[in-house]
Chains A and B, each alone.
Chain A
Amino acid sequence: MGFMNLFKHFLGDDWGVHPDDHKRPAADQPVRVMPVPAKLYLPLQQHLGGPARPAVLVGQKVKKGELIAEAQGMVSAPIHAPTSGTITAVTEIAAPHPSGLTLPAIILEADGADEWIELQGCSDPFALDPAEVGRRVAAAGVVGLGGAAFPSAVKLTGALRAKVTTLVMNGGECEPYLSCDDRLMRDAAGGIVDGIHIMLHATGAQVALVGIEDNKPEAIAAMQAAAAGFDTVHIRPVPARYPMGSEKQLIQALTGIEVPADGRPADIGIIVHNVGTALAVRAAIREGKPLISRLVTVNGNCAGNPGNIEVHVGTLAEEVIAFAGGLKGDGIGLARRVIGGPMMGMQIPHWRVPVVKGTSGILAFDTAEVAEQAPNPCIRCGSCVKACPMGLLPLEMSSRIRNEAYDEAIDLGLKDCIACGCCAYVCPSKIPLVQYFVHAKGELAAQDRAKLRTDATKKLALQRQERLEREAREKAEAAAKRKAEREAAAAAKAAAEAAAKQGETA
Chain B
Amino acid sequence: MTPATLTAQPVASPHAHGGNSVTRTMFRVQIALVPATLYGFWLFGWPSFFLWLLTILSCLGFEALSLKMMGVKRIKATLFDGSALLTGWLLAMTLPPWAPWWVAVLGGFIAIVIGKQVFGGVGQNVFNPAMVARVALLISFPLPLTQWVTPLPISSMAAPDFIHGLQIFLGNQTMPDAMASASLLGYTKTELSRGIDLLHSLAGDHAPVLSWIGARSGSFGESASLLILGGGLYLLATGVITWHTPFAVLAGIAVPAAIGHAVDPGHYLSVSAHLLSGAAMLGAFFIATDYVTSPNTGQGQIVFGLGIGLLTWVIRTYGGYPEGMAFAVLLMNALVPVIDRFVKPRVLGRDRKGKPLDIPEGKGA
Chain A interfacial positions (CB closer than 8 Å to B):
9-10, 12, 17, 19, 98, 158, 161-163, 176, 248-249, 252, 258-264, 266-269, 336, 338, 340, 342-347, 363, 365, 369-371, 374, 376-383, 385-386, 388-393, 395-396, 401-402, 404, 411, 413, 416, 419, 421, 424-430, 432, 434-436, 438-439, 442-443
Contacts and interface: CB of A to CB of B under 8 A. Distances in A.
Interface of B: 1-3, 5-6, 10-22, 24-25, 74, 77-78, 81, 83, 121-124, 239, 242-243, 291-292, 296-298, 340, 344-350, 354, 356-360, 363-365
Given A162-B365, A391-B346, A428-B21, A434 B357 contact: no
Given A416-B350, A439-B3, A425 B297 contact: no
B349 A435 contact: no
A400 to B, nearest CB: 13
Contacts of A249: 348
B22 A428 contact: yes
B147 to A, nearest CB: 35
Contact of B10 (A261, A426, A432): A432
Contacts of B81: 376
Contact of B345 (A258, A385, A430): A385
A94 B139 CA distance: 68
Contacts of A382: 291, 296-297
Nearest to A337: B15
Contact of A365 (B3, B15, B78): B15
A365 B14 CA distance: 12
A343 B16 contact: yes
A426 B20 contact: yes
A347 B15 contact: yes
Given A10-B243, A370-B15, A393-B296, 4 more contacts: A98-B11, A343-B13, A380-B291, A435-B5
Interchain residue pairs A-B with the least CB separation, the first 7: A421-B14, A432-B10, A261-B349, A261-B356, A260-B357, A382-B296, A435-B12
Interface of B is mostly: loop
21 contacts: A252-B348, A260-B350, A260-B356, A262-B356, A269-B363, A342-B15, A347-B13, A374-B77, A376-B81, A379-B25, A379-B83, A380-B292, A393-B296, A413-B350, A416-B348, A424-B13, A424-B14, A424-B17, A425-B17, A426-B20, A428-B21
Contacts of B10: 432, 435
B251 to A, nearest CB: 16
A260 B364 CA distance: 11
Contacts of A435: 5-6, 10-12
B23 to A, nearest CB: 8
B363 A162 contact: yes
B348 A390 contact: yes
Given A162-B363, A402-B2, A434 B12 contact: yes
Given A347-B15, A390-B347, A428-B25, A395 B83 contact: no
Contacts of A267: 359-360, 363-365
Contact of A395 (B25, B296, B346, B364): B296
Nearest to A402: B2
B343 to A, nearest CB: 11
A427 B17 CA distance: 8
Contacts of B354: 411, 413
Contact of A381 (B11, B19, B25): B25
A506 B154 CA distance: 150
A98 B122 CA distance: 33
B348 to A, nearest CB: 5
